[in-house]
Amino acid sequence: MIGRLAPPWDGLLLDARLATLRDDLGAYGAIEDGVLAWKEGLIAWAGPRAELPGEPEALARRVESAQRRWITPGLVDCHTHLVFAGDRALEFERRLQGASYEQIAREGGGILSTVRATRAADEAGLLSASLARARALLADGVTTVEIKSGYGLDLDSERAMLRVARRIGEELGIGVRATCLAAHALPPEYAGRADDYIAAVCEWLPELHAEGLVDAVDAFCEGIGFSPAQVRRLFEVARGLGLPVKLHADQLSDLGGAALVAEFGGLSADHIEYADEQAVRAMAAAGTVAVLLPGAFHVLRETQLPPITALREHAVPMAVASDLNPGTSPLLSLRLAMSLACTHFRLTPEEALRGATVNAARALGLHDRGRLLPGQRADFVQWDIAHPAELAYWLGGGLAHAVHVAGVAHHHG
């Protein structure tokens, strides 16, 4: 690998402060007088200026100064529902006036109101609405994003959502992982027939996978979603196709979802406010990442905290994601999710940054990004900050000076 990444390099940044997130360098894997170089879309060198094997101009085709800015790996948003039509602002207002989530759902609101709007939208309209949201994430430092289907709930609409997810990656030049979440809610035409609907989803999955539209399979395992037995049927089909699984687990109650996804060697268990210590042990043994979603916790004014202490004790990697969706987490900034994770869940700013980079990449099964190391993708962000803790400290504001994907600057603040 390093042979391929030998000089001359494509680009080199001097006068940089690097938060490499290497485990052998202390807090943030920090290098104060650092140099970052890349070649063919990969990091070729990340280390102290003093150890640079020659003069910068002799090593790289293009040399620039980072002007003492901090550089982190590109952020990875490992749980979003950013492809949808319409919005649910009026429901937000009604909830504040005392209506419950269940009551709104019974009246035809909730997920099903987004399903109606998404089914009615054409693909071009869906793409343009969703691109605006993806651009907001990119401007705030996100270079890889996971996008779930789940607002179509029929084969054609789910396919359209997954196609739009792929298009977003092509249009913006960022990494996109597309997740099939057809088992998100029961569509009206299957009312009272959840088993039949799961059987239909199990038939769609091989078709969508054959079209190259699915990187992973997810489900909503909850009293208002699908039972562990129904999820198990879906996961068995996914396993037969060689597709990794992840799960919306134990968000509103403990149905054993985190333990179920661990049993299938799943990439991640997401939400997990109600997961118990046994589930955490199962996740640790399976290498399943805990994805914390403080946006939904915040918007729904939840009080049951995820088992953070147990996750730390059993060394389960914790990721932080935006959960960007129209109903419970209309959050257009992964950095704000990091901040909320610190405030609500007591993560340290460093845990939050690792949660939105290296651990989030692991939650997507990606091991080629998330740290500043030679051979990793050259996804990195130059930030206008004096210390990495500021990424979780400021609530909003444009801190990203430049966002680079595979070495190419895609956004300038």
- Looking at residue 254, its pLDDT comes to 82
Domains and CATH numbers, the chain: 9-73+371-410 (2.30.40.10), 75-363 (3.20.20.140)
The residues that bridge with 380 in the sheet, in sequence order, are 73, 404
Distance CA 257, CA 224 (A): 13
Consult the annotation and say whether 410 binds a ligand: no
Please state the pTM of the whole predicted model: 0.97
- Looking at residue 2, its pLDDT comes to 55
Q: Is the bond leading into 8 cis (omega within 30 degrees of zero)?
A: yes
For 53-91, give one letter per residue: b (16+ CB within 10 A) or e. Answer: eeebeebbeebeebeebbbbbbbbbbbbbbbbbbebeeb
For the chain, percent of residues with pLDDT exceeding 90: 90
Q: Give which of 388, 390, 369 is closest to 380, Cα–Cα.
A: 369
Q: Over 90: is that where the pLDDT of 358 sits?
A: yes
Consult the annotation and say whether 248 binds a ligand: yes
Predicted confidence (pLDDT) per residue in 295-336, tens digit:
999 998 999 999 999 999 999 999 999 999 999 999 999 999
Q: Over 60: is that where the pLDDT of 342 sits?
A: yes
At residue 40, the 3 state secondary structure works out as coil
**Average pLDDT value for the chain:** 95
Distance CA 413, CA 406 (A): 18
Do 374 and 36 touch, CB atoms closer than 8 A? no
Predicted confidence (pLDDT) per residue in 256-295, tens digit:
899 999 999 999 999 999 999 999 999 999 999 999 999 9
Consult the annotation and say whether 151 binds a ligand: yes
Q: Copy the structure tokens of residue 227.
A: 């039972």
> Which residues are CB-contacts of 140 (< 8 A; sequence separation ≥ 6)?
75, 332, 333, 334, 335, 398, 399, 400
Consult the annotation and say whether 359 binds a ligand: no
Q: Centre a 10 Å sphere on the Cβ of residue 5 and count the other Cβ atoms it contains.
A: 17
CA torsion through residues 261, 265, 271, 277, sign: positive
- Looking at residue 183, its pLDDT comes to 97
Q: Over 60: is that where the pLDDT of 105 sits?
A: yes
Predicted confidence (pLDDT) per residue in 42-79, tens digit:
999 999 999 999 999 999 999 999 999 999 999 999 99
For 95-128, give one letter per residue: b (16+ CB within 10 A) or e. Answer: beeeeebeebbeeebbbbbbbebbbebeeeebbe
Consult the annotation and say whether 323 binds a ligand: yes
Consult the annotation and say whether 184 binds a ligand: yes
Distance CA 99, CA 215 (A): 37
**Rounded (10°) CA dihedral 206, 211, 212, 218:** -40
Do 360 and 76 touch, CB atoms closer than 8 A? yes
- The average pLDDT across 239-259 equals 92
- Looking at residue 4, its pLDDT comes to 84
- Looking at residue 103, its pLDDT comes to 84
Q: Over 60: is that where the pLDDT of 154 sits?
A: yes
The residues that bridge with 39 in the sheet, in sequence order, are 42
Q: Copy the structure tokens of residue 154.
A: 């029929």
Q: Copy the structure tokens of residue 66.
A: 């980072």
- Looking at residue 107, its pLDDT comes to 82
> Which residues are CB-contacts of 26 (< 8 A; sequence separation ≥ 6)?
none
Consult the annotation and say whether 88 binds a ligand: yes
Distance CA 132, CA 288 (A): 31
Consult the annotation and say whether 327 binds a ligand: yes
- Looking at residue 1, its pLDDT comes to 47
Consult the annotation and say whether 298 binds a ligand: no
Predicted confidence (pLDDT) per residue in 170-220, tens digit:
999 999 999 999 999 999 999 999 999 999 999 999 999 999 999 999 999
